[in-house]
Amino acid sequence: MQEKLVFATNNAHKIAEVRAILGDRRQILSLEEIGCREDIPETADTIEGNALQKARWVSRRFNCDCFADDTGLEVDALGGEPGVMSARYACVNGRGDGHDASANSSLLLERMEGVENRKARFRTAIALITDGKETIVEGIVNGSIATAPKGVDGFGYDPLFIPDGHSLTFAQMTAEEKNAISHRRRATEALLEVLKDNI
């Protein structure tokens, strides 16, 4: 029998991506599917801390095995910013409201104006809790920040991020091309390695 595993997200794109990787070996349920409609606290100062905070909250509240993710774009020349603040980068800097991808990108470009070292990475942390045991895995894709947005696909900082070994930004790639090398893909594969013994 398939054991249920909750993915602490309602992002349909992320759920589909993880289901595609895990196949039918384990039934993945979203927050909506377990009837969780509350805002889950996400107040840690690292992406690992946020992932663990979300996974613990759901696992305790719903008494289930669960995993949660958190992602940050880390830019070397900015000391690792926006990092854990990636979703609300503009907002925490007094610009825009809440999660505003275009304000976030504008602010990042502004801070990178004239900066030569454009090295950056997307980093995803996934915290997994099974039978009360906590495990954290990560996935990284290294790249650089473009000097202007390019491409229309994807979301967030995709138009500004050129993965190493490529000349296109994530937003100029097809979803398949991006998903084959993305930070989330790599973190999900690391998660699969951990789950392998249990599925």
The set of catalytic residues is 70
Q: Provide the minimum distance between the beta carbon of 197 and ligand IMP in the complex, in angstroms, as a whole number.
A: 26
Give the nearest residue (CB) to ligand IMP.
Answer: 156
Out of 83, 96, 156, 163, the residue judged to bind ligand IMP by CB under 6 A: 156
Out of 8, 31, 52, 70, the residue judged to bind ligand IMP by CB under 6 A: 70
Return the amino acid letter for 172.
Q
How many chain residues bind ligand IMP (CB under 6 A)? 16
Return the amino acid letter for 7.
F
The 20-59 site mask, x for binding ligand IMP (CB under 6 A), equals: ----------------------------------------
Binding of ligand IMP by 71 (CB under 6 A): yes
- Subset of 121-140 contacting ligand IMP (CB under 6 A): 122
Out of 90, 144, 157, 186, the residue judged to bind ligand IMP by CB under 6 A: 157
Distance separating alpha carbons of residues 136 and 64, to the nearest angstrom? 17
Distance separating alpha carbons of residues 191 and 14, to the nearest angstrom? 14
The 74-103 site mask, x for binding ligand IMP (CB under 6 A), equals: ------------xx-----------x-x--
Name 166's Cβ contacts closer than 8 Å, sequence gap at least 6: 143, 173
Chain residues in the site for ligand IMP (CB under 6 A): 70-71, 73, 86-87, 99, 101, 104, 122, 154-158, 170, 182
